[in-house]
Amino acid sequence: MTDERGGLRGWASERRGTLSRLRFTSLRLRLVVVFALVALTAAVSASGIAYWLNREAVLTRAQDAALRDFQQEVQNRAGALPVHTTQDQLQHTAGQMAGSSQRFSVLLVGQDANGRTLYGNSGGLNGFSLEDVPASLRTAVNRQQPLSSANKAPYHLYWQRIVMHGTPYLVAGTRVIGGGPTGYMLKSLEPEAKDLNSLAWSLGIATALALVGAALLAQAAATTVLKPVHRLGVAARRLGEGKLDTRLRVSGTDELADMSRTFNKAAEALEKRVADMAARDEASRRFVADMSHELRTPLTAITAVTEVLEEELDSESGGIDPMIEPAVRLVVSETRRLNDLVENLMEVTRFDAGTARLVLDDVDIADQITACIDARAWLDAVELDAERGIHARLDPRRLDVILANLIGNALKHGGSPVRVSVRESAAEAERPAEIVIQVRDHGPGIPEDVLPHVFDRFYKASASRPRSEGSGLGLSIALNNAHIHGGGITAANSPEGGAVFTLRLPQDASALAEERSEGDRYEEDSANGTNGANGGKGAAR
C-alpha cells in the first residue's frame, strides 16, 4: 500500500508538472500569437496601402496615355473628315487612328448625305462595336453642354473602366466639334492587370515572410521574457516548500530585474521572520518543558503530602479537624489538577518538539475501549456499540489517552448516556483501511462559533468562565495523538441533538512509524555530523 500511495503521489506530481508546462507553453503561445497578429496587421496594412497606391499609379498612367493619344487622333484624323462621310472613309480613318502607339481599338460613327448612320471599325466586322460601349457613356458623349465662360466646348471626352469576359478595359468616347463623326476607343488593361497581380503576389509573399520573421522574433522575445518568469515561478515553489534560502540571480536593470530584486528582498525578510519566530517558539517550548520538569520535583513532594492528608480524611479515626476539612479536600483536588496540567504540558512539548513516538501493538478495539471505560468507572454512563474482533496495529497508551479525553469530555459537557460506536472503513484508491470511532453525547451540543476552536489549547467557550476543572489541553492532546497515527478527529453536532466526535485511525500505522523512525535516524546523523550516504563529515546542503 505504501508503494501504491507513492506511485499515486508521483503521478499527481508529474501531472502537476505537465499542467505547469502547459500553462507555461500557453503563455508563450499567447505572446507569439500577439506578436504575430501585430506583425500581420502591420504587414497587411502596409501591403494594402502599397498595392492601392501602385494600382492607382499604374492604371492612371496607362489611362492618361491612352486618352491623350485618342483625343489627339480624334482631333487630327476624325476632325479632317467631312460632315457627311462615307463608309470607306470611316473605316480607313478608324484603322489609321488604331495605329497609335497605345494600340487601342477605334469605332467611328457618322452619317452620309442621306442621313443614314455609318460605322467604321478598326478591327473589321468582328471588332469593336457600339454594343460594347456602356449606354451611360454613349449618353454622356452625345449630350451637348451649354457654352459658358467656364465651358468652351459643347462636347467633351468621357471614359469608363469595364470588364468584358474577365478582362479589364478602358472605354472612352467623344464627338468632333463643329460636326463630324463620333469616336469611341477600347483599350485592354490586361498587361497592367498582370503587373498588378504580380505586385499582389510579391506583397503577399513579403507579408508571409514578415509574419514568419515576426513569429521567430516573438519566440525569441517570449523566451527572453518568460525565462526569468519561469525562474521566478520555480523559486516561488521552492520558497513555498520551505526552502527559505532560495534567491534569484539578478542581472540587468529592467522591470524583470526589479521583480527579481523584490522577490529576493521578500524572501530574505520572510527567512528572517520565520527564523525569529522559530527561535521564539523554540525558546517558548524550552521554557514550558523546563518549567514542567522543574515543577515535577516539588509536585512529587506535595502529592505525597496530599495523599497522606487524603488517607487521614478517609480514615475512621477522624484525624482532620472538620473546620479545615474543606480546605484539605480543595488542596488535594487542586494538587491532582496541577499534576495533570504538568503532565499535559510535558506531553504537549513532546508533540511540539517532534519527539513523541509510537509504540505499536496489535489491539482489539472493543477490548481497549472497555478497559478505558472500566479503569475510570464509566461503565454505567457509557453505551458501547462495537463488535469484538476488530483489530488494529496502534499505540495502546495513546489510544487510551484519546478515548479518555473524548469520553470524559462528553460526560462532562453532554452528560450521560454517552454512546461509543466502532466501525471499519474499507480501503479506497488513495486512503488505507481505517477504524472509525464515534463518541456521541445527548447534551445541548457545541455552539457554532465554538466548533472551529474545540481543539485549540486553553480555549474557553465563555469569557465568564475563565476557570474550569480541566486543563484545556485534553482535546488538543487527543488530536495530536490521532495525527501521530496518521489519523484525525472531527467535531460536529448531531441532527438529533448532542455533540459527535469522530476519530479516524489507520488500521495499521506501521508504515508511518517506520517513516518517522527513518526521519529520526537522518536527523540524528545530521546532528552528529555524519552523512549516511558517503560517510563524509557534515550534512550535504
Look up the CATH number of the domain holding residue 83: 3.30.450
- Taking the model in full, what pTM does it have? 0.46
Residues paired with residue 499 on neighbouring β-strands, in sequence order: 493
Measure the CA–CA gap between 78 and 81, rounded to whole angstroms. Answer: 6
Q: Residue 518: its pLDDT value, please? A: 56
Q: Is the separation of the CB atoms in 421 and 437 below 8 Å?
A: yes
Kind and range of the H or E run holding 361 = strand 361-364
Whole domain around residue 111: which residue ranges? 27-143+154-197
Question: Is 368 inside a domain boundary?
Answer: yes
Q: State the sign of the Cα–Cα–Cα–Cα dihedral 191, 197, 198, 203.
A: positive
What is the three-class DSSP state of 392?
strand
Domain boundary among 348, 382, 416: 348
Domain count across the chain: 3
Residues 374, 296, single domain; the answer is no
150: which 3 cell numbers?
467656364
Nearest to 186 by CA among 168, 171, 208, 204: 171
Residues 314, 402, single domain; the answer is no
237: which 3 cell numbers?
515553489
Residues 182, 327, single domain; the answer is no
Residues 63, 192, single domain; the answer is yes
Q: Which amino acid is at 167?
A: T
Kind and range of the H or E run holding 24 = helix 2-76
Residues 398, 493, single domain; the answer is yes
Residues 425, 459, single domain; the answer is yes
Domain containing 293 — which CATH number? 1.10.287
Residues 35, 160, single domain; the answer is yes
504: which 3 cell numbers?
479516524
Measure the CA–CA gap between 145 and 252, rounded to whole angstroms. Answer: 77
Question: Is 245 inside a domain boundary?
Answer: no
Which are the contacts of 378, defined by CB distance < 8 A and separation ≥ 6?
A: 407, 411, 418
Q: Residue 537: its pLDDT value, please? A: 31
Q: Return phi, psi of residue 502, to 5°.
A: -115, 120
Q: Residue 520: its pLDDT value, please? A: 54
Question: Is 230 inside a domain boundary?
Answer: no
Residues 184, 41, single domain; the answer is yes
Domain containing 409 — which CATH number? 3.30.565.10
Measure the CA–CA gap between 205 and 338, rounded to whole angstroms. Answer: 91
Q: Is the separation of the CB atoms in 373 and 384 below 8 Å?
A: yes
Question: Is 7 inside a domain boundary?
Answer: no
Nearest to 369 by CA among 415, 407, 410, 425: 407
Domain boundary among 293, 327, 348: 348
* Long-range interactions of 520-529: CB distance < 8 A, separation 24+: 520/357
Kind and range of the H or E run holding 256 = helix 255-314
Residues 117, 91, single domain; the answer is yes
* In the block, residue with C-alpha cell 466586322: 125
Residues 377, 491, single domain; the answer is yes
Nearest to 137 by CA among 106, 161, 110: 161
Residues 184, 307, single domain; the answer is no
Domain boundary among 319, 348, 377: 348
Q: Residue 422: its pLDDT value, please? A: 92
Question: Is 521 inside a domain boundary?
Answer: no
Q: Residue 317: its pLDDT value, please? A: 57
Question: Is 501 inside a domain boundary?
Answer: yes
Measure the CA–CA gap between 211 and 205, rounded to whole angstroms. Answer: 10
pLDDT in tens, the chain (541 residues): 444 444 444 444 555 554 444 444 566 677 777 777 887 788 788 888 887 888 778 888 888 888 888 888 888 888 778 888 888 888 888 888 887 776 788 888 888 888 788 888 887 555 788 888 888 888 888 888 888 888 778 888 888 888 888 888 889 998 887 777 888 988 888 888 888 888 888 888 888 888 788 778 777 777 777 777 778 888 888 888 888 888 888 877 777 788 888 888 888 888 888 888 888 877 777 776 677 677 777 877 777 777 777 777 766 655 667 777 778 778 877 777 777 777 777 777 776 666 677 888 998 999 999 999 998 888 888 998 888 888 899 999 989 989 998 998 888 887 778 999 999 887 665 677 889 999 998 888 888 888 888 888 777 654 444 445 556 778 888 888 888 888 899 999 988 888 999 999 998 888 776 666 555 554 445 444 433 333 333 332 2
Question: Is 233 inside a domain boundary?
Answer: no
Question: Is 236 inside a domain boundary?
Answer: no
What is the three-class DSSP state of 421?
strand
Establish whether the linkage from the previous residue to 417 is cis, with ω within 30° of 0.
Answer: yes
Residues 470, 389, single domain; the answer is yes
* In the block, residue with C-alpha cell 505499536: 360
